[in-house]
Chain A
Amino acid sequence: MSENEMNLQAENEMNAKEAPLVLQVSHVSGGYYSGGILKTKQNYREVLHDIDFEIRQGEIMGLVGESGTGKSTLAKMILGLVQPEQGEIIHHTKRPQIVFQDPYSSLNPAYSVEWSIEEPLRVFGKYDAPERKRRVRDMLKRVELPEEILEAKPTELSGGQRQRVSIAAALIRRPRFLILDEPVSALDVTIQAQILRLLKDIRKELDLSYLFISHDLNVVYQLCDRVLVMKAGRLVEQGTIEEVYENPKEEYTKNLLAAAD
């Protein structure tokens, strides 16, 4: 590593350390009970084991691992949809929102784009109708969609457009932290590149932090500052992108990196 790079890395670490915490996940284990009302040891299946990490303001944290390693369960736990059995999840900001992988089921097919983006504000109940409309239009501009699209139903949109609408709906109440669960995996590469750029831009504009879940290590490399590597419910490695990609410690990480090259 050159001196220059080392300086850069040190600087990055300094910045990361200084920024306030957004999320603390400390020694979290958890899983699901299958069948019946009774919660017994026999029907408990542990999905996550001793997960421990934190995310700071403005940071993009990647989460990689193969299917079935518990990435989505971890996301659900952070969102409060699944309760951990052990450990603690502490939010230092508003509750996070999520953008899902499948753009086809993340928007309510019964309603227009405008309705979907506006709904979180209606539920929030603090703004009157004109203010809500103004905010929807403002957010629409940020995700680079034309106003004509407001009238459209989700079925009339392309995958990329749907994902932009999902992002707009997730951000309309201005959360500071967003979970992105494979948000570009279902998209064509050219669209994928556009959405990744949008996510980068909008992070700067709105000072957001992301937890970016992906199986594509190259995408994570492009977007993220730090990365978590999960295997079979455990966090096997974490560190800055440079640390993990250039000097992976675990055999598992090495395999993943080799396969994705």
Chain B
Amino acid sequence: MRIKRNGYLTAGLILTGIIVLMIIIGMFWTPYSPLTMSAKEKLQAPSLRHLMGTDNFGRDIFSRVLKGAGTTLTIAAATILIGSVCGTIVGALTGYFGGVVDDVLMRFNDALTAFPSILLALLVISLVGPGNKYNVILALGIVFIPSYARITRTAFASLRDANYITSARLMGASNARILLVHLLPNTVRILLPALTIGFNNAVLAEASMSFLGIGVTPPDASLGYMLSEAQGMFAAAPWYSICSGLVIILLVFGVGLIGEGLQRGEREVE
């Protein structure tokens, strides 16, 4: 797959790159410990000392946002990894083989899609227990499988009868080889933009779950959790909501730009 460089892609990569870089730095070093409280410095507005101000325990919000964004990024990335890998497997098998396998798996898929994703995630959380981020990843990962299955199924089904696949069958290539070597690379162009959209959905889903209290819980903190925390002190420390919300927006915006850039770039090449 070849993609022509374009403004969207460049801007998206730069924006996302900066955020990811800061998150990586945040993993090893933050200006303050995100958990240290300080009664003297509580509810301070953003200043040079505290870039994003402090909350009502006197914790440095910038440090917390760095850590929280790290959690959010990990959860979103792991979610789309689970969702896309499992979804691609299901979609590839149903799209390529068709027939009964397709009918059964896809009806099941439809049933899953019929639930609102948050509800489905809630169901999984109630089964595996709330709290740590691995359970959130598992819950969201499962929720994301059906949409990827649908996208890849369409891609595989549309390419199944391409002449080059018929030729591959005639030369005696195994189904596994046809699926992995002949078909998979040709679905990347459809999968890549879907990954960026999925990533953003995962970020937002995690945020809403944590906001609703079924996501991560302390001592883990994610951007969504921090938003819900900030809600309680909105009047006293509006910068808390604004800053954590802004980081979510920037992250989603950056990845969205990449997705848009990928699609436009490919159209240009064609």
Contacts and interface: CB of A to CB of B under 8 A. Distances in A.
Interface of A: 37, 79, 81, 95, 97-98, 100, 102, 105-111, 116, 119-120, 123-124, 169-170, 173
A95 B169 CA distance: 12
Contact of A79 (B162, B164, B168, B170): B170
Given A108-B186, A109-B186, A110-B186, A100 B170 contact: no
Nearest to A79: B170
A105 B167 contact: no
Given A37-B100, A81-B169, A106 B163 contact: yes
Interface in B147-197: 162-164, 166-173, 177, 182, 185-186
Contact of A169 (B167, B169, B177, B182): B167
Nearest to B168: A119
B172 A98 contact: no
Contacts of A106: 163-164, 167
A100 B171 contact: no
Nearest to B269: A155
Contact of B1 (A107, A110, A120): A110
25 contacts: A79-B170, A81-B169, A81-B170, A97-B170, A98-B166, A98-B170, A100-B163, A100-B166, A105-B163, A105-B164, A106-B164, A107-B164, A108-B182, A108-B186, A109-B186, A110-B1, A111-B185, A119-B171, A119-B173, A120-B171, A123-B168, A123-B173, A123-B177, A124-B171, A170-B167
Given A106-B163, A110-B1, 14 more contacts: A79-B170, A100-B167, A105-B162, A105-B164, A109-B186, A110-B185, A111-B185, A119-B168, A119-B171, A119-B173, A123-B168, A123-B177, A169-B167, A173-B171
Contacts of A119: 168, 171, 173
Given A109-B186, A123-B171, A123-B177, A81 B166 contact: yes
Nearest to A121: B171
Max chain A Cβ within 10 angstroms of own Cβ: one of B164, B168, B182: B164
Contacts of A120: 171
Q: Which 9 A-B pairs have the closest CB atoms?
A: A110-B185, A120-B171, A106-B163, A100-B163, A108-B164, A105-B163, A123-B173, A105-B162, A123-B171
B173 A98 contact: no
A169 B186 CA distance: 19
Interface residues of B, number: 18
Interface string B1-15: 100000000000000
A37 B186 CA distance: 29
Contacts of B100: 37
Max chain B Cβ within 10 angstroms of own Cβ: one of A108, A116, A124: A108
Nearest to A100: B163
Max chain B Cβ within 10 angstroms of own Cβ: one of A97, A110, A111, A170: A110
B2 to A, nearest CB: 8
Contacts of B99: 37
A87 B168 CA distance: 27
A110 B1 CA distance: 7
A82 to B, nearest CB: 11
A188 to B, nearest CB: 20
Contacts of B182: 108
Contacts of B170: 79, 81, 95, 97-98
Contacts of B166: 81, 98, 100
Contacts of B185: 110-111
A120 B162 CA distance: 17
Contacts of A37: 99-100
Nearest to B178: A123
B53 to A, nearest CB: 51
A9 B163 CA distance: 38
Contacts of B168: 108, 119, 123
A123 to B, nearest CB: 5
A124 B173 CA distance: 8
Contacts of A111: 185
Contact of B163 (A95, A102, A123, A124): A102
A135 B7 CA distance: 45
A120 B182 CA distance: 12
A107 B173 CA distance: 15
